[in-house]
Structure 1
Amino acid sequence: MTGVERAGSSGWTGTEPLLLGVRHHGPGSARAVRAALDAARPRVVLIEGPPEADALIPLAGDEDMRPPVALLAHAVDEPGRSAFWPLAEFSPEWVAIRWALEQRVPARFIDLPATHTLVWGSEAEGESAGDGGGRGGGGAGAPDADSDADVPVGAATGTDANADTGPDADADADADADAAPHSDVRVDPLGVLAEAAGYDDAERWWEDVVEHRGLGEGDAFAPFVVVEEAMGALREVYGSGGHDRDLVREAYMRLQVRAAQREFGGGVAVVCGAWHVPALRQKVTVAADRALVKGLPKVKVDMTWVPWTHRRLARASGYGAGIDSPGWYGHLFSAPDRPVERWMTKVAGLLRAEDRTVSSAHVIEAVRLAETLAAMRGRPLAGLGETTDAVRAVMCEGSDVPLALVHDRLIVGDVLGEVPEAAPAVPLQRDLARLQRRLRLKPEALERELELDLRKEADAGRSRLLHRLRLLGVAWGEQVVSRGSTGTFRETWRLRWEPELSVRVAEAGVWGTTVLAAATAKAEADAMAAQGLADVTALAERCLLAELPDALPAVMRILADRAALDADVGHLAQALPALVRSLRYGDVRGTDTGALAEVAAGLAERIFVGLPPACAALDTDAAEEMRRHVDAVHTAVGLLGEAPAAGHGDLRGRWHAVLRVLSARDTVPGVIGGRAVRLLLDDGQLAQDEAARLMGLVLSPGTPPRDAAAWIEGFVGGGGGGMLLVHDERLLGLVDGWLTGVPAEAFTDVLPLLRRTFSAYEPGVRRTLGELARRGPGQRGSAAAVGSGIPGFGAGLDVERADAVLPVVRLLLGLDGAGEEDSAELAGVA
């Protein structure tokens, strides 16, 4: 007879430990635990979890503590070596903690200490991080399928896999499948019990026998007797499932239970995964248990509470707990009665908020359909499957699109827990929390976009914080392309707070006690460790965005040194664009970019000297890469010319001279020569007649077809190349005449180059070019017949058509009150 069985309906005697085997994150188990504790009134409550968290238990009663939350353990000297123990409102462990605090009963954690679990995995598993913990999927949780979850490989080796107090699947069961013939049971123990009961779905079986049977009513201890018997039968057949760690954990828990019995003279209640109950009931000598836990590796750890999310609970790997439907489970736990009716009301409210027509009649009909489905399927109460089917049919009209919203917002949910300010935290975390409050940038589990106008002080502060956090590796926000403006004074961020960011903050704490100090130190260290010149220039850009005035001089010194020593034109060309982009942020952010402009101009000068020799004798791939460098440098010089550095003169003029050299040299690959001619033409440094002459020379019969095709690719490839041919009949005629004269044996060599060039054009441009080629030269119509000097355009100004667009031009230029003089000037421009 077990201690629970001896208690029976007459009450618990207290002589034997009251072992309450639970399903982690199970609302039915949570209700049963609360009922059993109310009936037993133990003197002490022992809970499966890391003993280092005992000092944090009182914080669970703080009015500012709102689950879901998690215990976070990390190595003091290596914060990235960490593990989490998530707890939701419907977790039996959380219910036990809250009951103990309300009844002023001591509560303690009794699982293997985190000081061992964080380091054990790296030594026992040979530093194999697996997939971040190797968390298998087991539906919404097993009675205790955590087995090794508190000692995750990923957490022990720095990948921060979840070590929660009850994942729904064995952390390493898949990895150890070969070690034990029945290790699949460890992945989903409920599956074996469900199969024995004739169910093909373990989740549905658990709902029928536990969630829908009113656990906690009548005999408060009866559910745990049944669960213990079932787990005992499984352990007899499958043992520990091939996991030696379970044996060590259970030995440590037995030692803690014995110590509590001696201290309190009995009256000990234990809340743990049901899988462990048979082992804790087993009679083993103290010496044998101590021998198992002796000599375990250890590391110094810190622990605290951190916010968690329902979305993280719904993930079966990494940090997740493997619960498919935390929102639904939270509803079952909190609904005092009529859970189906209350759930349908929630769904209707959500759909109405999304402008879908859902009436009270829809709610009534959905409830009836769910109950009918449950009766037809032989279930005592409608479960998630029946309610989902009813919502799809009645409220969503058979569509899965609105149903996906219900799943995301309600079945899973975007709930983000909160922890009190009194919770232990590294100084950097406290400074971050202070900045979040001051800038009104509250962490949220739901992804949202944030538009910032850097001309406003509050938005500029938010931008600085987000850029500094990204530099520290805390990716709270991701910068995206702004839809409203392309100006440098606007930024768009996509924000979502993930629980593991707490680990990243702890890791970044080694760089400083404030966000500013830590980001500055991290930037200087990254500059010293940067491998290439482009890495340093990218870091300089990030320092400007994050406004790190103390870090920028050190980064610039390293940048100048690297630039002076690097003779590779490709490296210099890669570095220049990022450097010049950084200059654009000086005005709106008020940053002194004089030193940056000086280095950028010096870099450009060295590129001008080294580029022509570097473009000689290149193969096809190298020539294409160099062509991209030429484009990047051209754009950078255009920006740099707007804010030239002192002593560097006319950079644009010298760059145009370099392009002329590239366009005239026979040793330069055609794709680079053609691009040089095109860039000169776009900048107005080359007349169209001269461009046509150069193209005619290249496309002459003396040039190999493949080289000519490469030149065409460089000249008309990229943005605007198609329109250039559309509006310049001579260029189009040259290309058309050359293409029709390519010998048949060479055509297959040139075709891939031409296809790559012309396939990049917009469909409308390709269609226009095809029509022009079909008509032939000189057949473009009246526009081409009038000799204007510019092929494709008329000879003079059509005043009537120009007057029609003047009001729009005035509106765009902000000249609504323009007088006759302004109108005449605009007409001339038009």
Structure 2
Amino acid sequence: MSSESNMSADHTIGRTPTGSEQNEDFHVFGIRHLSPAGAHHLLSFLDTIQPTAILVEGPSDASGVIAQLTSRGVVPPIAILAYTDQLPIRTLLYPLAEYSPEYQAFVWANRHGVHTEFIDLPSETALALHEQRRAWRTNSLLAEDEQEDQQDELEAGQSAAAVENGLQAYLRKQNERYEHIAELAGEPSYDAYWERHFEHNLQKDAYRHAVYEFSAQMRELSELDEREHDAAETAYNEIREAYMRRRIQEVLQAGHAPNKVVVVTGAHHASALDLRFPVMTDKQHASLPKVPTKLTLMPYSFYKLSTHSGYGAGNQAPAYFTLFWECLQKGDLSQLPSLYFSHVAARLREQGNFRSTAALIEAVRLAEALASLQGGSQPTWQDLRDAAVVCLGYGELSTIADALARTDVGTAIGSLPEGVSQTPIQDDMNRELKRLKLEKYKSTVAVTLQLDLRENRRVQSEEAAFIDLKRSVLLHRLELLGINFARKQRVNQEAASWAEHWVLQWTPEAEIQVVESTLKGETIELAAAFVLNERLESCVDIAESSKLIRLACDCGIPKLMEQARNTLQELAVDAGNFNQIASSAYDLSVLIQYGSLRKIETDSLIPLLQQLFLRGALLLSDAANCNDDASKGVVDAIQTLHGVAQEHFEIVDDGLWLQKLHELSSRDDRNAKCSGFAFAILLERNEVSEEQSAQEVSRRLSPGIPTDLGAGWFEGLSMRNRYALLSRLSLWRQLDNYMESLEEEQFHRSLVFLRRAFGSFEPREKAAIAEMMGDIWGVDTDQTGEMLQRPLSEEEKGKLDELNDFDFGDL
């Protein structure tokens, strides 16, 4: 079991029982979650006992979905998800693989018509106690801090961090104990120890008795540390075990013969499920805290089962243990090494790397030899990996790392058929994925999907003609809801307004995010509309409201698009932020230009765009009255508004815009970079004659102008169309004269801006400038190239060092 509290049934804390066997006649079968040998031995045990009731550790309120877990069409791995129905959402997960002993117990019970149920605390209590444990740990830490008088007050964030650090320290100590066991056994890790001594032991009843004794002794060894370091966790597990004993007692009282009842539980709890210990009373049961919760089923993945994703239930390699389980089902575990290496070789072959049959045979022999050195009859997963590195990777892990990952962890995900218990929004998403033929992208491997929003005239049905447009609507809704199944990529083509690139990747977290969205609506569309409406109600600036118009359009929710337009119109009346106005105008421009692609009416947006553009043009000069830090944002906004003017010249007042650019370019009391950028736009549009250009350059780059203003103006000039800039030789001649006229200190100061300006030029543009300057200096092209390519002399290096050490004062 896992949850926000990182619960792991193999490492929970409980009381140490006395005695190694219970005195009741019911049977306790301790297992390690996700243990193929545990599942194998459990099935054999069930065949022998032929129980009438199978009780399994797990949330008791999930007993109603057990029948669905084994219904036709269910493909593990899957998980039971419990979640609170109020914000903030807290979750508890109970994952199951095909080789999980619990899952196989359900399969056996379904096949034999046997009663089965979960017996652990219901999710409503487990999640409530989780919050209480966190609060208890925090309060304990605060009390200790007060006693030690280290500080007057511990902030909430600090206490939470300290609690987590303390818990992590405790878990590290627990892990150290397990690793010490591996060290004593001469194994490289605890997982290798467990596999060799428990998973490989196929003697009848050996697994059950060994797990029981191991659990009892480990509890005895760890009890003192557990009570000292995490009393909250100790108390929690005592509550769990008292509750499970109560449920066992209730089943016995219902008429099941004790010797026909089998309890399947995590190894740690096996020795505690003994009715000699106290059973939870009615009063204690009534006092259990509760928070409202709901349950659902969800597909899970091999990756999430592995410890690589943080779930530490003793299963680092779920794909490997699936092979292990297949061999156990065939009754021949000796096939596992050859099966494993053949899978690695197949993965390598997919990548274009081939391995011979002889190499596979040698790998099997080496793995068996490594196992024999440890006294084992079968190689462990670690033995197989080591042999693969030597024989298939030729000593290099990197050569076969990807193939090993696919063989060990795998990319498989589970699936649930229609009709299996899920939330309405999960059902809606599955229907949408099926309708839009996106089911194949529900994979743990990231896949790029390219969409063409235009009508496909080569197909007959309207559904097929606009399938990419409908896919886009769904993916935008998922992105709005924060469901990480779809991530939109930037398309660099300017003319590709109809193209969208998405990266699709399914994860259990994405499924949980879908479930969490059920609080916003029962369908993806309703949930997306809820989120948009919430953002609109809290919207206070025009930039956000214009983005919400685009979002509503992309998500195919015209009603909210109109609502967002009204919000923008109200906010635009008092808008005075030039940058926000430019951003809003751009969003409206895109919608007006490409709205037909999404089949939306955009005429109502035209007056709003005109209003914003007019306000932006009138604010241009005032916005440019800024410092260098703010100038970048203003320059970007100028560029944005100019793009709107070019794209919609028949709608907006382009003449007024050019007039305001002329005004800004000629003003000396505005930011020099902004003025230079405005002048660059006028140059590009041929609004400035050669004579006017020469006069302005001469005026801006004259010895009487402060160096930072002159060089800053040129930096702004260079930020626009480079071709227009490079085609004017007179400008570069004027810049050359300006640089020659500067005193040494002024020259150094100007380099700050000029180096920054030229730093954004591409290599070919820098080469063109060098050739142009060569012409001005009377140096031919070949000589210029040689000068640029030759190494720096010691004198030139010294000059650069001097420049780096130069004191730029207030710059």
Give the TM bin, normalised by the shorter chain.
Answer: 0.7 to 0.9
Q: How does 1:351-366 map to 2 (within 5 A)?
A: 351-366=348-363
Paired position in structure 1 for 2:659:
657
- The alignment status of 1:619 with 2:616, answered yes or no, reads no
- The alignment status of 1:517 with 2:531, answered yes or no, reads no
- The alignment status of 1:472 with 2:463, answered yes or no, reads no
Q: How does 1:24-423 map to 2 (within 5 A)?
A: 24-78=33-87, 80-126=89-135, 175=163, 178=166, 184-187=172-175, 190-214=178-202, 217=204, 219=206, 221-239=208-226, 242=230, 243=233, 244-263=235-254, 264-266=256-258, 267-281=260-274, 283-286=276-279, 293-315=285-307, 323-335=315-327, 336=330, 337=332, 338-376=335-373, 379-423=376-420
Paired position in structure 2 for 1:588:
597
> Structure 1 CA distance, aligned partners of 2:766 and 2:385?
50
**Given that residues 415 and 445 in structure 1 are in contact (C-alpha distance below 8 angstroms), is that contact kept between their aligned partners in structure 2?**
yes
Offset at residue 362 of structure 1 (A): 3.1
**Given that residues 68 and 89 in structure 1 are in contact (C-alpha distance below 8 angstroms), is that contact kept between their aligned partners in structure 2?**
yes
> Structure 2 CA distance, aligned partners of 1:481 and 1:75?
36
Offset at residue 295 of structure 1 (A): 2.4
**Given that residues 371 and 380 in structure 2 are in contact (C-alpha distance below 8 angstroms), is that contact kept between their aligned partners in structure 1?**
yes
- Residues 604-651 of structure 1: CA deviation (Å, up to 9, x unaligned): 1100111212322x222122321222122222322233xx44xx5xx3
**Given that residues 33 and 314 in structure 2 are in contact (C-alpha distance below 8 angstroms), is that contact kept between their aligned partners in structure 1?**
no
Q: Percent identity?
A: 27
**Residues 261 and 297 of structure 1: CA distance in aligned 2, closer, same or farther (over 3 Å):** same
> In structure 2, what residue type is equivalent to 1:213?
N
Offset at residue 294 of structure 1 (A): 4.9
- Secondary structure of the structure 2 residue equivalent to 1:462: helix
- Residues 500-547 of structure 1: CA deviation (Å, up to 9, x unaligned): 233322333344333333333432332122243211111111222222
> Structure 1 CA distance, aligned partners of 2:161 and 2:613?
58
**Among 429, 452, 456, the residue aligned to 1:432:** 429
Offset at residue 320 of structure 1 (A): 7.4
> Structure 1 CA distance, aligned partners of 2:761 and 2:342?
53
Q: How does 1:436-455 map to 2 (within 5 A)?
A: 436-442=433-439, 443-455=442-454
**Given that residues 545 and 585 in structure 1 are in contact (C-alpha distance below 8 angstroms), is that contact kept between their aligned partners in structure 2?**
no
Offset at residue 38 of structure 1 (A): 2.5
Paired position in structure 1 for 2:741:
741
**Residues 178 and 567 of structure 1: CA distance in aligned 2, closer, same or farther (over 3 Å):** closer
Offset at residue 688 of structure 1 (A): 3.9
**Residues 83 and 688 of structure 1: CA distance in aligned 2, closer, same or farther (over 3 Å):** farther
- Secondary structure of the structure 1 residue equivalent to 2:321: helix
- Secondary structure of the structure 2 residue equivalent to 1:286: coil
**Residues 518 and 285 of structure 1: CA distance in aligned 2, closer, same or farther (over 3 Å):** closer
Structure with greater helix share of residues: 2
- Residues 3-42 of structure 1: CA deviation (Å, up to 9, x unaligned): 99779xxxxxx94332222212222322232233223322
Offset at residue 196 of structure 1 (A): 4.2
**Given that residues 32 and 314 in structure 2 are in contact (C-alpha distance below 8 angstroms), is that contact kept between their aligned partners in structure 1?**
no
Segment drifting more, 517-526 vs 665-674: 517-526
Paired position in structure 1 for 2:786:
none
> Structure 1 CA distance, aligned partners of 2:563 and 2:185?
70
> In structure 2, what residue type is equivalent to 1:228?
S
- Residues 124-161 of structure 1: CA deviation (Å, up to 9, x unaligned): 424999xxxxxxxxxxxxxxxxxxxxxxxxxxxxxxxx
Offset at residue 494 of structure 1 (A): 0.6
User: What is the aligned residue count?
Assistant: 724
Segment drifting more, 517-526 vs 444-453: 517-526
Paired position in structure 1 for 2:773:
773
Paired position in structure 1 for 2:646:
638
- Secondary structure of the structure 2 residue equivalent to 1:500: helix
- The alignment status of 1:600 with 2:597, answered yes or no, reads no
- Secondary structure of the structure 2 residue equivalent to 1:72: strand
- Secondary structure of the structure 2 residue equivalent to 1:19: strand
Q: How does 1:551-566 map to 2 (within 5 A)?
A: 551-566=560-575
> Structure 2 CA distance, aligned partners of 1:479 and 1:125?
37
- Secondary structure of the structure 1 residue equivalent to 2:113: coil
> Structure 1 CA distance, aligned partners of 2:575 and 2:223?
69
Stretches of structure 1 that go unaligned for 5 or more consecutive residues are 8-13, 130-171, 783-830
Offset at residue 729 of structure 1 (A): 2.3
- Residues 237-271 of structure 1: CA deviation (Å, up to 9, x unaligned): 54556222122212211211222222223132221
**Given that residues 215 and 269 in structure 2 are in contact (C-alpha distance below 8 angstroms), is that contact kept between their aligned partners in structure 1?**
no
> Structure 2 CA distance, aligned partners of 1:330 and 1:765?
59
Q: How does 1:475-490 map to 2 (within 5 A)?
A: 475-482=484-491, 486-490=495-499
Offset at residue 771 of structure 1 (A): 4.7
> Structure 2 CA distance, aligned partners of 1:321 and 1:768?
63
> Structure 2 CA distance, aligned partners of 1:356 and 1:754?
52
Stretches of structure 2 that go unaligned for 5 or more consecutive residues are 1-16, 139-159, 457-465, 783-811
> Structure 2 CA distance, aligned partners of 1:603 and 1:753?
33
**Given that residues 576 and 636 in structure 1 are in contact (C-alpha distance below 8 angstroms), is that contact kept between their aligned partners in structure 2?**
yes
> Structure 1 CA distance, aligned partners of 2:168 and 2:486?
44
- Residues 734-777 of structure 1: CA deviation (Å, up to 9, x unaligned): 22222233322234433332222111112233244335435544
- Residues 212-246 of structure 1: CA deviation (Å, up to 9, x unaligned): 333x5465643334433433433455455622212
| TM-score, structure 2 normalization | 0.82
> Structure 2 CA distance, aligned partners of 1:704 and 1:127?
66
> Structure 1 CA distance, aligned partners of 2:705 and 2:648?
37
> Structure 2 CA distance, aligned partners of 1:606 and 1:356?
63
- Secondary structure of the structure 1 residue equivalent to 2:522: coil
> In structure 1, what residue type is equivalent to 2:642?
H
- Secondary structure of the structure 1 residue equivalent to 2:120: coil
**Residues 708 and 491 of structure 1: CA distance in aligned 2, closer, same or farther (over 3 Å):** same
Offset at residue 104 of structure 1 (A): 1.6
- Secondary structure of the structure 1 residue equivalent to 2:378: coil
- Secondary structure of the structure 2 residue equivalent to 1:281: coil
**Given that residues 725 and 769 in structure 1 are in contact (C-alpha distance below 8 angstroms), is that contact kept between their aligned partners in structure 2?**
no
**Given that residues 319 and 409 in structure 2 are in contact (C-alpha distance below 8 angstroms), is that contact kept between their aligned partners in structure 1?**
yes
- Secondary structure of the structure 1 residue equivalent to 2:413: coil
**Given that residues 45 and 270 in structure 1 are in contact (C-alpha distance below 8 angstroms), is that contact kept between their aligned partners in structure 2?**
yes
**Residues 176 and 471 of structure 1: CA distance in aligned 2, closer, same or farther (over 3 Å):** closer
**Residues 321 and 377 of structure 1: CA distance in aligned 2, closer, same or farther (over 3 Å):** closer
Q: How does 1:662-677 map to 2 (within 5 A)?
A: 662-677=664-679
Offset at residue 496 of structure 1 (A): 0.9
**Given that residues 32 and 266 in structure 2 are in contact (C-alpha distance below 8 angstroms), is that contact kept between their aligned partners in structure 1?**
yes
**Residues 232 and 82 of structure 1: CA distance in aligned 2, closer, same or farther (over 3 Å):** closer
Offset at residue 351 of structure 1 (A): 1.9
**Given that residues 452 and 469 in structure 2 are in contact (C-alpha distance below 8 angstroms), is that contact kept between their aligned partners in structure 1?**
yes
| TM-score, structure 1 normalization | 0.81
**Residues 180 and 621 of structure 1: CA distance in aligned 2, closer, same or farther (over 3 Å):** closer
- Secondary structure of the structure 1 residue equivalent to 2:289: coil
> Structure 2 CA distance, aligned partners of 1:631 and 1:684?
17
**Residues 541 and 606 of structure 1: CA distance in aligned 2, closer, same or farther (over 3 Å):** same
> Structure 1 CA distance, aligned partners of 2:197 and 2:122?
34
> Structure 2 CA distance, aligned partners of 1:377 and 1:748?
72
> Structure 1 CA distance, aligned partners of 2:92 and 2:170?
27
> In structure 2, what residue type is equivalent to 1:743?
E
**Among 688, 696, 704, the residue aligned to 1:702:** 704
**Given that residues 312 and 321 in structure 1 are in contact (C-alpha distance below 8 angstroms), is that contact kept between their aligned partners in structure 2?**
no
Q: How does 1:676-691 map to 2 (within 5 A)?
A: 676-691=678-693
> In structure 2, what residue type is equivalent to 1:668?
R
Offset at residue 302 of structure 1 (A): 1.5
